[in-house]
């Protein structure tokens, strides 16, 4: 969590730092700060709240920074210490005129702090990061060489970090290093830039060096030198990024979330037409007799749906589990397991740990991710990129459907590997081909959904129900609503309603039911809705049914195109995403940057 940036070049660094931080805002947005060296003097500026507050401060102080072509910056998602100016980064030390920015968490900061206090460190903040500043500062007093001080200091840290450090005594270099947190270095022309993620650097250069764990770089405006943990210089490849600037703009949409919802048909079309699963999953071991799907949040919901699909068309038992639970229990993963880790960002701490553990148990692993350059990929025997393009809205939408379609394609592949290319698998394939057009039918006519959403926006509690594959969709619909509108929403398999949640129902609770008529449980689900109606709940159907009797039962009906139940989650998610979006937008919420959240959850 948090985003960091560093810039060194011929130009004034302020604009580069703030532009980079703007592009990293999805990683955190509760405070921000920069440190620069201006006329040989280290200066630090920090503000609580959104990045704009910092930008306003920098505008006021413009005269103090006319000659600064080296700087580092940070956008924070608070872990240790509340979001305020003191806890905001950069952090400094009384040992040396240096400033650091940090993304990650230091687990042994308390022990280090005690020791550093005895050595004379004066602490100002409640953060774990300040320990790193003092530790590097102290090591610098011993070695007088910042790179060596950083290498020595980071050896004492337990936990995760990506760091950029500047030193008033040497205004010609930035030191960068990382372990278990992402950091890339962009190589420009007489300028270099460091960032937590590609969007932060892409407007300067598409040439990048990916720092690996325990590597430390000295970045000057002309050069980038990388050292291993023994202080030996090493050669690093320069990768060329193929990312268009357009992906990072709203393209006329009011919010990134709405733009990303509308991108889904094309992303799905491209994935269906690609051969990515077959190309990537070659020579899968034949001993696999159980599958575990491990993920968090929205990615977990995609995994919950995949269990239904894989078990339906293969003979392999599947368990789907939250990564944060999987890693702290004696699970049954073994050398015959196929463990599928799903993570949009590839940086989710729990999912990374789960996949590391799975590898330690000699399981075969597949990673489904939007970021092939992410930390989780090192634990994958096979990597399946979902190619959704950079997702900026904190609430995941396009990455969810891209994960889902990838899981469908993987299920089909597994069925074919089992020589089970039976009628069910063939039908599934042909149903998938219909998805992009059907998504477009909904997206081309969103007025009804928006009007219903506006009417629903006054309610404070929602219940989502469904059966079969759409239980995962209900969970995802409830999560989307909670995340961006802060309205309480819970999802249940409809059969569970009568076992307790029905006690909640009255005229103040809208119940959103997903009903797919060709499914075996359709009539049961209708009965559940009737039971809810008898308790005066407001009823909303998302359905492909044309049954006119539904109009008597439901207060609102959101009609979706006719669709087979097994692929319907790829369609039902669209009105669910739109309901959440339109409610949040109507209520004036910060749709793309909901409170308390950040895009990648790199802490446990
Ligand atoms: O990057 P990941 O897919 O691993 O992220 C997992 C969750 O943190 C993520 O899906 C989260 O629930 C989103 N805010 C959902 O909109």
- Measured distance CA(301)–CA(295) in Å, rounded: 8
Q: Which of 26, 196, 298, 479 to mutate to test the pocket of ligand 1 (most atoms within 8 A of CB)?
A: 298
Ligand 1 pocket residue status of 268, Cβ below 6 Å: no
Nearest CA to ligand 1 atom 12: 297
Token pair for 409: 């394609």
The backbone torsions φ and ψ at residue 529, rounded to the nearest 5 degrees and listed phi first, read -70, -40
**Ligand 1 closest atom vs CA 397:** 16
Spatial contact of 549 and 497, defined as CB atoms under 8 Å apart: no
- Measured distance CA(222)–CA(190) in Å, rounded: 5
Single pTM value for the model: 0.88
Nearest CA to ligand 1 atom 8: 297
Is 599 among the catalytic positions?
yes
- Write down the mean pLDDT value for the chain: 94
SS (H, E, C) 319-333: EEEEHHHHCCCCCCC
Count the neighbouring beta carbons within 10 Å of the beta carbon of residue 458: 12
- Measured distance CA(409)–CA(270) in Å, rounded: 12
Q: Which of 293, 297, 352, 476 to mutate to test the pocket of ligand 1 (most atoms within 8 A of CB)?
A: 297
Q: Which of 29, 299, 403 to mutate to test the pocket of ligand 1 (most atoms within 8 A of CB)?
A: 299
Going from the Cα of 396 to the center of ligand 1, the distance in angstroms, rounded, reads 7
User: What three-state secondary structure class fits 139?
Assistant: helix
Going from the Cα of 344 to the center of ligand 1, the distance in angstroms, rounded, reads 7
- Measured distance CA(416)–CA(414) in Å, rounded: 5
DSSP 82-97: -SSTTTSSPEEETTEE
Ligand 1 pocket residue status of 351, Cβ below 6 Å: yes
Residue 603: DSSP 8-state? -
Nearest to 402 by CA among 481, 299, 324, 286: 299
Per-residue model confidence as pLDDT tens digits over 251-294:
999 999 999 999 999 999 999 999 999 999 999 999 999 999 99
Is 2 among the catalytic positions?
yes
Ligand 1 pocket residue status of 576, Cβ below 6 Å: no
- Measured distance CA(202)–CA(208) in Å, rounded: 9
Going from the Cα of 370 to the center of ligand 1, the distance in angstroms, rounded, reads 12
- Measured distance CA(41)–CA(168) in Å, rounded: 6
Token pair for 188: 């420009």
Nearest to 560 by CA among 549, 575, 539, 579: 575
pLDDT < 50 stretches in the chain: none
Ligand 1 pocket residue status of 343, Cβ below 6 Å: yes
Token pair for 224: 């980038």
Token pair for 459: 């309610």
- Return the beta strands (E) in 447-526 as ranges: 461-466, 488-493, 510-515
For the beta sheet containing 96-103, the strands, ordered from the edge strand earlier in sequence to the opposite edge, are: 91-93, 96-103, 161-167, 170-179, 215-219, 224-227, 233-234
Non-local CB neighbours of 501 within 8 Å, separated by 6+ positions: 463, 490, 492
Q: Tell me which H or E stretch contains 584.
A: helix 569-586
Non-local CB neighbours of 190 within 8 Å, separated by 6+ positions: 9, 10, 221, 222
Ligand 1 pocket residue status of 345, Cβ below 6 Å: yes
DSSP 3-19: EEEEEESSS-HHHHHHH
Q: What percent of the chain is helix, strand and coil (3-state, nearest 5)? A: 40, 25, 35
Ligand 1 pocket residue status of 364, Cβ below 6 Å: no
Residue 266 CA from chain centroid, whole number? 21
**Residues across the chain:** 604
Q: Which of 601, 602, 603, 604 to mutate to test the pocket of ligand 1 (most atoms within 8 A of CB)?
A: 601
Nearest CA to ligand 1 atom 7: 297
Which pLDDT value is given to residue 64? 87
Going from the Cα of 266 to the center of ligand 1, the distance in angstroms, rounded, reads 22
Ligand 1 pocket residue status of 297, Cβ below 6 Å: yes
Angle at the Cα of 289 from the Cα atoms of 284 and 294, rounded to 5 degrees: 80
Ligand 1 pocket residue status of 375, Cβ below 6 Å: no
**Ligand 1 closest atom vs CA 296:** 6
Nearest CA to ligand 1 atom 4: 343
Ligand 1 pocket residue status of 397, Cβ below 6 Å: no
Nearest CA to ligand 1 atom 11: 297
Ligand 1 pocket residue status of 125, Cβ below 6 Å: no
Non-local CB neighbours of 512 within 8 Å, separated by 6+ positions: 462, 463, 464, 465, 474, 477, 540, 542, 576, 579
Spatial contact of 555 and 540, defined as CB atoms under 8 Å apart: yes
- Measured distance CA(543)–CA(559) in Å, rounded: 5
Going from the Cα of 13 to the center of ligand 1, the distance in angstroms, rounded, reads 32
User: What three-state secondary structure class fits 571?
Assistant: helix
- Measured distance CA(154)–CA(136) in Å, rounded: 8
Which pLDDT value is given to residue 603? 74
- For the chain, the straight-line distance linking the first and the last C-alpha, in angstroms and rounded, comes to 11
Count the neighbouring beta carbons within 10 Å of the beta carbon of residue 302: 31
Which pLDDT value is given to residue 80? 85
- Measured distance CA(566)–CA(45) in Å, rounded: 54
**Ligand 1 closest atom vs CA 396:** 16
Which pLDDT value is given to residue 564? 94
Ligand 1 pocket residue status of 411, Cβ below 6 Å: no
Per-residue model confidence as pLDDT tens digits over 291-312:
999 999 999 999 999 999 999 9
Q: b or e along 474-507 (b: 16 or more beta carbons within 10 Å of the residue's beta carbon)?
A: bbbbbbbbbbbbebebbbbbbeebeeebbeebee
User: What three-state secondary structure class fits 137?
Assistant: helix
């Amino acid at each position: 969590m948090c985003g960091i940036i560093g810039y060194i070049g011929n130009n004034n660094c302020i604009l580069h730092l703030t532009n980079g931080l703007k592009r990293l805002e999805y990683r955190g947005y509760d405070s921000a700060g920069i440190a620069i060296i201006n006329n040989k003097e280290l200066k630090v500026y920090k503000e609580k709240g959104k990045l704009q507050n910092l930008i306003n401060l920098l505008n006021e102080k413009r005269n103090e920074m006319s000659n600064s072509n080296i700087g580092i910056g940070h956008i924070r998602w608070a872990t240790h210490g509340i979001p305020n100016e003191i806890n905001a980064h950069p952090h400094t030390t009384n040992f040396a005129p240096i400033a650091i920015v940090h993304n990650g968490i230091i687990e042994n900061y308390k022990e280090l702090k005690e020791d550093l206090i005895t050595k004379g460190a004066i602490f100002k903040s409640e953060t774990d990061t300040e320990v790193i500043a003092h530790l590097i500062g102290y090591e610098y007093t011993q070695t007088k060489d910042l790179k060596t001080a950083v290498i020595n200091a980071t050896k004492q840290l337990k936990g995760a970090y990506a760091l950029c450090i500047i030193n008033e005594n040497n205004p010609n270099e930035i030191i960068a290093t990382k372990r278990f947190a992402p950091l890339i270095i962009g190589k420009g022309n007489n300028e270099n830039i460091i960032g937590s993620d590609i969007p932060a650097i892409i407007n300067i250069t598409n040439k990048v060096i990916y720092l690996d764990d325990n590597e430390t770089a000295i970045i000057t405006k002309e050069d980038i030198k990388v050292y291993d943990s023994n202080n030996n210089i090493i050669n690093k490849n320069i990768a060329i990024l193929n990312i268009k600037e357009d992906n990072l703009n709203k393209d006329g949409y009011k919010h990134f979330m709405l733009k990303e919802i509308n991108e889904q048909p094309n992303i799905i079309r491209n994935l269906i037409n690609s051969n990515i699963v077959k190309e990537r999953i070659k020579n899968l071991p034949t001993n696999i007799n159980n599958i575990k799907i491990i993920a968090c949040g929205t990615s977990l919901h995609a995994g919950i749906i995949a269990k239904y699909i894989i078990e339906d068309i293969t003979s392999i038992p599947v368990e789907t589990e939250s990564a944060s639970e999987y890693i702290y229990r004696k699970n049954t993963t073994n050398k015959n397991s196929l463990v599928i880790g799903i993570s949009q960002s590839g940086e989710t701490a729990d999912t990374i740990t789960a996949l590391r553990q799975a590898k330690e148990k000699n399981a075969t692993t597949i990673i489904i991710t939007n970021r092939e350059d992410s930390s989780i990929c090192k634990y994958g025997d096979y990597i399946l990129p979902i190619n959704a393009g950079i997702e900026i809205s904190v609430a995941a939408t396009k990455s969810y459907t891209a994960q889902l379609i990838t899981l469908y394609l993987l299920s089909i592949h597994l069925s074919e590997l089992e020589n089970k290319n039976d009628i069910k698998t063939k039908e599934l394939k042909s149903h998938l081909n219909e998805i992009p057009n059907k998504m477009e039918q909904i997206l081309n006519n969103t007025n009804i959904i928006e009007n219903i959403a506006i009417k629903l926006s006054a309610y404070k509690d929602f219940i989502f129900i469904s059966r079969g594959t759409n239980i995962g969709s209900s969970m995802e619909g409830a999560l989307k609503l909670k995340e961006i509108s802060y309205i309480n929403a819970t999802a249940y398999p409809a059969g569970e309603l009568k076992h307790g949640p029905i006690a909640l129902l009255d005229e103040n609770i809208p119940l959103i039911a997903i009903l797919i008529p060709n499914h075996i449980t359709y009539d049961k689900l209708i009965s559940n809705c009737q039971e809810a109606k008898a308790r005066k709940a407001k009823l909303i159907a998302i359905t492909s049914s044309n049954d006119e009797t539904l109009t008597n039962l439901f207060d609102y009906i959101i009609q979706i195109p006719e669709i087979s139940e097994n692929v319907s989650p790829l369609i039902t998610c669209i009105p669910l995403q739109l309901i959440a979006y339109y409610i949040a937008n109507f209520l004036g919420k910060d749709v793309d940057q909901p409170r308390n959240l950040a895009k990648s959850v790199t802490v446990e």
